[in-house]
Structures are given as C-alpha cells and as structure tokens.
RNA sequence: UGAGGGCGCCAGACGAUCGCAGGCGCGAAAGCGCCUGAGGAAAGUCCGAGCACCGCAGGGCAGGGUGCCGGUUAACUGCCGGUGGAGGCGACUUUAAGGAAAGUGCAACAGAGAUAUACCGCGUAAAGGGCCGCGCCUUUGGGCGCAGGUCUCCCCAAAAGGGGACGUAAGGGUGGAAAGGCGAGGUAAGAGCUCACCAGCGGCAUGGCGACUUGUCCGCUCUGUAAACCCCACCUGGUGCAAGAUUGAUAGGGAAGCAUGGGCGCUUGCGCCCGGCGGCGGCCCGUCGCGCUUCCGGGUAAUCGCUUGAGCCUGCUGGCAACCGCAGGCCCAGAUAGAUGAUCGUCCAAUACAGAACUCGGCUUACAGACGUCACUCACAAU
RNA sequence: GCCGCCAUGGUCAAGCGGUUAAGACGUCGCCCUCUCACGGCGAAAACCGGGGUUCGAGUCCCCGUGGCGGUG
C-alpha cells in the first residue's frame, strides 16, 4: 500500500494530509519530542507511524511577509525531501537569523540538520 | 531651458518545469481536467457604519464626542466648494477656526504694579482769601467793582532744600501681556479730555441661503488662556465574528451554608401591607421580579456566520466639485497553524513598502522607482 | 484576529503647566582604616520620537515607535 502511494509521479506532492494540524498537536510534540538546533532552525522530532510536518515562525522573526516567505521556503525544501524522510512528527521552528539569509543557505542548513539528526532514509 | 504647482495612473512583464488553496466537471476510488487565487496601503486600529448578541416602561443627572459656513453621504473627527487667519514673488499650500462683553481658576521669574498699581518722574491748578494796582462812590473810617498784577496745600527751615498730602498715567525700565497707535490741540502737570488719520469691538445699513463683505462714523477702547473648569449648539446604550446560530456531548449535575421575618384578615395555609434581597452593566427617581451565597465537577468538536456588496467596469445625464441618477455588462480570495512558492531563460537602469482572516466608507503612517496631463506659475534666453 | 495598558539616569521609581526634574540602589573620586566593609563628603548620569496648544510642556492634544497583558 505504501509503495503504491509513493509513486515517482507523486513523490514531490505535499498536501495538507502531511501537515501537523492544530495547536494541540504542536504542544504534544514540543513536550515529548527531541530537539536539534542549527544556525537558522530548530527541529523537534517525535517518532510516529505517519509523516506529519509542521512549521513555525514567531513574531520575532519579522513581519508577516518575512514569516510567510520563510515558511514557504521551508515547505518547498521539505516537499522535495519528503520521500526520503523517516516517518514521525516534525516541527521546524525558524530562528531570528533566518530573516536575512538567502534561500540556498536555508536549503543547505536544512539538509545538514536532517542528516545530523539521522532522519533521512538510506539511499538504496 | 531650468525651477516649481495642481490633478491622475502603475507597483515588473513573458515563457518552461515542479508544487499549493478553493470551485466546477468526470470517476467506484486513487486521481485527472478546466477556471479562479492578496494591497495601494491588505498595515496602524485612529474614526464612522453594516451585522450579531446582551440590555432597554419612562424621565433626569453624570460621562464621552463634535465645533467658521453651505453642501455631500448609510454614517463620520471623512470628502467637496466657499469665508476668515497664516505662509509663498507667484501658480498655490495650510488651518481643532463657537463663546474670554455669563462666571470661576491660572499667569512662575522679572517688574513699582498682572487686572489693577503708583517706584522714579511731572505738577500744586480751580474755588476762596491776603496784599498791590486801576476805576467809581464817600459821611475820610472806608465801601463797591475789575478779562489787572502778585502770593497762597501741610510740616521742618532765615533761605537753599528736605519730608508729607493730593493730582497725573505722557516718559522710564520689566515682561508673552502694562489700559488702542501716532501727530496736533489742550493743561498746573497730564490723560480719547478734544480733533485728523489708522486699528479693533459693538450697533445700523448694504450684498450674500450663510460664514462674512462693503459702508456709515452712531457708540465704545475691553490682557492672555476654554488641546483649564466651564457656557452654548448638536450627537451619543454596551460588547465585539474568539459576536453569535444549529447539531452533537452532557444534565433540569453534585455538595455545603444562610434565610424562609413582622402585622392584619380569616376558610389554618392562603391573600394583602411593611421589611429583606436581586435586576434595570455609571448613578438617582421610579419600576419589575422573588429564594440567595460559596465550592467542586463536566464541556470547549463539527457545520453555518463567510462573502452579491452603501459591489466593480463602460457610456450618458445633472452639478464648479464631493456626489447623484439612468442604461448596459461583469462575478472578482474565502483559508482555519492558515493557500501565490522554487528553479531556469528573455526583456529591463532597478524592484520599494509590504500579506486578506466578518464586510464596507474614510483617516494616518511606510514606500525603490516609472509615467501621463494642464492655454497653471516664476526666472532666463530667443523671436 | 479583537480589546486594553505602559514608557523618566545602569536598575527601581516620585513629580498641581512654572527655578537648575526629587529619592533609593548601583558607578566613579576623595576622606576615614594597617586593609576591606560600614560611615562621611562630592561628582557624572534621564523625561521613547515627531508635530501642535501655551509666554512656558515630563505634565495637555494629535500622529508614530517600542514593550507588556487579556481574550469562548
């Protein structure tokens, strides 16, 4: 069933069913999960059967445009990596330094963060 | 040509691949196709409304807001046009702009004095009286009269002068403000005391719907402050879509404490009156209701509200304009951790401020730049 | 999203529209002491920003900035 769903054509799609959902789930992950920091991000991960991902950018990061931009970058990068990520609940929190960073720096930072947390599936 | 002024507009575009949200269609489903998808400020939340719930017999007070005039609008602290003030050579810009002649308060410091005063200064008039002069009368004692001269406020002093009293508000210095300004007459010295001109206020007349203008020269000369209290006129319930509605989930949930008073009437547990408590979300009158207080537990999900609206575009009509009317056409985000992104290419001088969260009308603030238009102004040059 | 509140030296703070803006802790200098502390004397240091009203604004009014809180 999993194999059928994750065909090559749909591997880069990233709809609402992969999102973490309401505030209650976020609080649950914050309390139980393991955190891993990096320069621009903090990742909080909790093991689970399904892949659920949430993004958070507080008011300290910047105004509404900046926060939206940061979340869209993160969603785009995670969308491309989704097929390689282990299942579980993820929360990506943006740190204040991310406001002045270019997109490719954030992308590299995200890759290194996931590799360091050993949450990427082995390539074959 | 340069420097400005008014009005208005845009807010990167196109293509390729991958991806997101909503709607519609197809499909048993997975999914596929098509269409649509942030702003001029979406912002700040400073005003005004719609909408929703709560409250509301009625009246009064308090509180809050607005404040030149006329218009416009659903409404407004908005907008348009005008008046007065301020700024600019000018085109034009800007203005919380009612009342200080209803009352109260405040005006530090300085200054003699701050809403009336007398520090320095200037002056001793008029009236009355004394003496002299002149004229007339005369009973030779004097009397009467005068456009005459001189002296005369009080005290000390021989005098010079000093002190006081009274008058004065020209001049002096202080201040943001000192009793309209300036000149002449006038006066003992002075003063709108009088006069000419000017300024302001009030009355009257004139033109205007009106703010106000112009005139008259009839009266007057009054400190400032109301973004101090206040007065006048007008407006004004509260809370906000986390409002609220429906369905579900419980449940008309459990425990404790206090109160169930007095009088009258009788059919002996009811009626009336007084008292008590509570509501009228600031208070009172008044009015309505009748058990009240405390603690514990449960619940907090889905759908609706949610986008067709004082709507947008085009043309015509009325109006200086804001705006209004008519006709035709159009449907233009609706999410619920929150949708517009990524990569590449071409054009380009370059991409600022910035993201809907119930919806509109304004205001305010932020903003790289790119334009359009005007028989608008000024300066210079040429003709 | 909606609704409120606050801003004065480094910190905590007072301040009827009127001198040069209190006070405490802290900092610095001097004195005291063998030295430190305590104590004494002295000094530096502030009204969030921009407009307006007023003769005069920390205070009154308007606009903004920043911070904090509440919310079925």
ipTM over cut 0.90:
no
pTM of the predicted structure, to 2 decimals:
0.74
Residues forming a β-bridge with A88 = A51
**pLDDT tens sequence for chain A (124 residues):** 233 333 333 467 887 788 887 777 787 788 788 889 998 889 999 888 888 888 888 877 888 888 888 888 998 899 888 888 888 888 898 888 888 888 888 999 999 999 999 888 865 3
- Alpha-carbon distance A34 to A14, whole Å? 24
Rounded (10°) angle between helices A103-116 and A64-81: 50
A47 in contact with nucleic chain B (CB within 7 A) = no
Distance A91 CA to B259 C1' (A): 59
Q: What is the three-class DSSP state of A29?
A: helix
Alpha-carbon separation of residue A7 from A2, A10, A11, A13 (angstroms) = 9, 6, 6, 11
* Separation between the CA of A15 and the C1’ of B203 (whole angstroms): 86
DSSP string, A36-81: EE-SSEEEEEE--SSEEEEEE--TTT-SHHHHHHHHHHHHHHHHHH
CATH numeric code, A14-116: 3.30.230.10
Domain ranges of chain A: 14-116
* Residue–nucleotide distance: A98 CA to B214 C1' (Å): 73
């Amino acid at each position: 069933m999993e194999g059928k769903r994750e065909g090559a054509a749909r591997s880069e799609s990233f709809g609402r069913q992969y999102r973490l959902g309401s505030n209650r789930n976020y609080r649950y992950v914050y309390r139980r999960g393991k955190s891993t920091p990096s320069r621009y991000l903090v990742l909080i991960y909790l093991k689970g059967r399904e892949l659920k991902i949430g993004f958070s950018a507080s008011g300290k990061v910047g105004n509404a445009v900046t926060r939206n931009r940061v979340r869209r970058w993160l969603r785009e990068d995670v969308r491309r990596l989704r097929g390689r990520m282990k299942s579980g609940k993820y929360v990506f929190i943006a740190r204040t330094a991310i406001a002045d960073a270019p997109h490719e720096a954030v992308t590299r930072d995200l890759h290194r963060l996931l590799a360091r947390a050993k949450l990427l599936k082995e390539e074959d």
